[in-house]
Amino acid sequence: MDVMADAAAWDWVNFMVRWLHVVAAVAWIGSSFYFIHLDASLRRRDHLPAGTAGEAWQIHGGGFYNMVKYTVAPPHLPAELTWFKWEAYTTWISGFALMVVLYYRSADLLLVDPDVLALEPWQAVAISVGLLVLGWVVYDRMCRSPLGRDDGRLAAAGFVFLVATAWVTTQVFSGRGALLQMGALIGTMMAANVAMVIIPNQRRTVAAMLRGEAPDPALGRAAKQRSLHNNYLTLPVVFLMISNHYPLAFATPYNWVIVALVLVVGAAIRHFFNSRHAGKSTPWWTWGVAVAGMAAAAWLGGVGPTRPVQTAAASPVTFAHVEEIVLSRCSMCHTASPVWEGLPAAPRGVVLDSPEAIRRHAGPIGIHAGLSTAMPPANVTQMTDAERRVLALWAADPAAVR
């Protein structure tokens, strides 16, 4: 196959794997939200049999549902039992496949940034896989250690661990690669919670019942703890997975602080719903935390302080200079038939090969190459800070630049 047909085929593989990944994740997160909500909405009633935590009534799709939860297990194993695991497994498998197709195949552009750390692509891939495994092992040990008996302290330790890991990844990978790596790490923790703790514990419970023994309640409690972690991590993981579209979140020096803020905001929003659904208090303050956290993230990511790139240049900026920079640093990729090997068409349809096209894209150029260092990927065309400053100043007020 020629290079172009090959690139086009990979592009379609990417698209289809991503489609599967999004659909599987919707199913997984949907069932996770559903069961946490169901758990919280259970109410104790006198008529319920012994060993139950409560019941809930629901109406959906034209029918009434009466759900009863048995805390450890029902007296008899039902003939048919629905397990929930393929949503999680499919999400992880398709997510990892997407990571290979996109980030590992193009590690030189997407994972490595020589300005951060000059890694060979295979080294970046090895570190990425190693961190996924290590991250799970550390987290799992924390849950099984004495720390795991205190949910509050475990959450605090988990937060510190994730923020420290975020800092490390931003010192190793490109900003975009680092945030995706964090998303992949948290996603791996969540899927491994299902595969290594929740499902095996449920299997042990069922096996004990088949032997006619009483199942160990600790098995169910451990599974519940992991399930709750998964619930609190869903919002941050989705943010991290879509962050690659927003260079002001990933390609700025405070990207790891933004990860920390998102962990807090995501957990606060989940806490609001968990508490409300449990019929306890309605903690409106969590929305204050969410708004303040996101405002801080936006401020750090470019809205707030004037950056060095926006301070006045030595000589006035001219459009001829802007054009020269874009044509020499961007156009080999951003043109109808890119010169850069492996690009089937102008990336994201962004063509930057004429003065009119450049003027039309002033905003995106300013965001991707001026205020942030998202473009060129891995700074392959070696753009200088002085050039970024010219683009940022022009993009701030294109009409003023002749």
For residues 280 and 277, give the distance between their C-alpha atoms in angstroms, rounded to a whole number.
Answer: 7
* Smallest separation (angstroms) from ligand HEC to the CB of 244: 6
Closest to 89 measured CA to CA, from 206, 190, 236 = 190
Residue written as token pair 């034209």:
62
Q: Which is nearer to ligand HEC, 333 or 401 (CB)?
A: 333
Measured CA to CA, the distance from residue 374 to residue 353 in angstroms comes to 19
Please, what is the minimum distance in Å from the beta carbon of residue 64 to ligand HEC?
46
Structure tokens at 127: 């570190």
Amino acid at 343: L
Q: State the minimum distance, in angstroms, from the CB of residue 229 to ligand HEC.
A: 30
CB closer to ligand HEC, 298 vs 332:
332
Rounded to a whole number of angstroms, the minimum distance from the CB of residue 114 to ligand HEC is: 13
Closest to ligand HEC by CB, 177 or 377: 377
What's the rounded Cα separation, in Å, for the pair 354 and 127? 40
Minimum CB distance to ligand HEC, residue 329 (Å): 4
**CA dihedral in degrees (179, 185, 191, 193; nearest 10)?**
-130
In the complex, which residue's CB is closest to ligand HEC?
330
Shortest reach from residue 381's CB to ligand HEC, in Å: 5
CB of 232 to ligand HEC, least distance (A): 28
Pick between residue 202 and residue 243 the one whose CB is nearest to ligand HEC: 243
Q: Which residues of 143-160 are buried (b: 16+ CB within 10 A; e: fewer)?
A: beeebbeeeeebeebbee
Site of interaction with ligand HEC (CB under 6 A) = 244-245, 326, 329-330, 332-334, 340, 347-348, 350, 364-365, 368-369, 375-377, 380-381, 383
Query: Which CB sits closer to ligand HEC, 319 or 340?
Result: 340
Nearer to ligand HEC, 55 or 108 (CB): 108
Contact between 166 and 260 under an 8 Å Cβ cutoff? The reply is: yes
Quickly tell me which residue has 């962990």 as its tokens.
263
Residue type, 36: I
- Cα–Cα distance measured from residue 51 to residue 74, given in angstroms and rounded to the nearest whole number: 7
**Whose Cβ is closer to ligand HEC: residue 39's or residue 113's?**
113
Minimum CB separation of residue 92 from ligand HEC in Å reads: 22
Query: What is d(CA 184, CA 169) in angstroms, rounded to the nearest whole number?
Result: 12
Nearest-angstrom CA–CA distance, 382 and 380: 5
With the CA atoms of 203, 208, 212 and 216 taken in that order, what torsion angle do they form, in degrees rounded to the nearest 10? -120
Taking the least distance from each CB to ligand HEC, the nearer of 174 and 201 is: 174
